[in-house]
């Protein structure tokens, strides 16, 4: 997979590309990530990439020409171009799974007061990481890249990603490590039993309980079995008794 990031702050990505799983994926040539300076594509003699908005208003807008040239130069036959924007559709694990199948992604980092609306003619979609506004699209670009890259085959162990929270809609079950008793806080006995069938059953129940207790809003979009529906109803019933 190749990811190209268009930004006015390419240095922002230096530590991101030199750290942990991302660095290993790059070193193993599983993925390629490059941050490109938008100003290099500007025709303005001062390399400006912003200007005042037509109709008036506060702040400056990113101009369309440098973005057009950057996208045109970087785009390939199979490219998927994404604008990071608070107006986009909210980023989810489901979207990350889908994007991990792309071979080439171009991420556009906005700045200033926004981008000339004609950018919509050059992109495939807009994505938001949440209902809030940041100073620029660099952090969202890193979030998307991280979430996508870890799902690319060979980057991390497949079994690990398959059990991630939200991978199949559900949150993950609680996890524990040594010691089994810390200041009176105990690890559930079933996890110490060595009975893998009981452990598997407990984990199935706890992923449902975790989702109900922490993110009940997710339940609407999860395709549930009859057994899971029954368990949800049981958990909700017990909560009312507390």
The single residue of 51, 102, 113, 116 carrying the catalytic annotation is 113
For the chain, which residues make up each domain, given as ranges? 2-158, 181-241
Model pLDDT, residue 66: 97
Q: Is a pLDDT exceeding 90 seen at residue 210? A: yes
CATH number of this structure's domain 2-158: 3.40.1280.10
For the entire predicted model, the pTM comes to 0.85
Model pLDDT, residue 99: 98
The band of 112, judged by pLDDT with boundaries at 50, 70 and 90, is confident
Q: Is 234 a catalytic residue?
A: no
What's the whole-number mean pLDDT along residues 213-222? 92
Show Cβ contacts of residue 159 under 8 Å, excluding neighbours closer than 6 positions: none
In CATH terms, the superfamily for domain 181-241 is: tRNA(m1g37)methyltransferase, domain 2 (1.10.1270.20)
Q: Is 113 a catalytic residue?
A: yes
Model pLDDT, residue 231: 94
The single residue of 39, 75, 150, 203 carrying the catalytic annotation is 150
The single residue of 146, 163, 164, 234 carrying the catalytic annotation is 164
Q: Is 11 a catalytic residue?
A: no
Q: Is 207 a catalytic residue?
A: no
């Amino acid at each position: 997979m190749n990811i190209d990031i268009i930004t006015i702050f390419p240095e922002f990505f230096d530590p991101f590309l030199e750290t942990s799983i991302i660095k290993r994926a790059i070193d193993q040539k599983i993925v390629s990530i490059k941050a490109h300076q938008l100003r290099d594509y500007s025709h303005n003699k001062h390399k400006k990439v912003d200007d005042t908005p037509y109709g008036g208003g506060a702040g400056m807008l990113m101009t369309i020409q440098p973005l057009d040239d950057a996208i045109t130069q970087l785009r390939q036959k199979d490219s998927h171009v994404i604008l990071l924007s608070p107006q986009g559709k909210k980023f989810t694990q489901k979207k990350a799974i889908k994007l991990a199948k792309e071979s080439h992604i171009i991420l556009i980092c906005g700045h200033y007061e926004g981008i000339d609306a004609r950018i919509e003619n050059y992109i495939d979609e807009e994505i938001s990481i949440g209902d809030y506004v940041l100073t620029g699209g660099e952090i969202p670009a890193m979030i998307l890249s991280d979430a996508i890259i870890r799902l690319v085959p060979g980057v991390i162990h497949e079994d690990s990603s398959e059990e991630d929270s939200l991978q199949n809609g559900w949150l993950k079950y609680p996890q524990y490590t040594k010691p089994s008793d810390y200041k009176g806080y105990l690890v559930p006995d079933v996890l110490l039993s060595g009975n893998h069938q009981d452990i598997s059953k407990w984990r199935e129940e706890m992923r449902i309980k975790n989702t109900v207790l922490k993110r009940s809003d997710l339940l609407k979009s999860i395709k549930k079995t009859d057994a899971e529906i029954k368990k949800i109803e049981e958990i909700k019933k017990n909560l009312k008794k507390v």
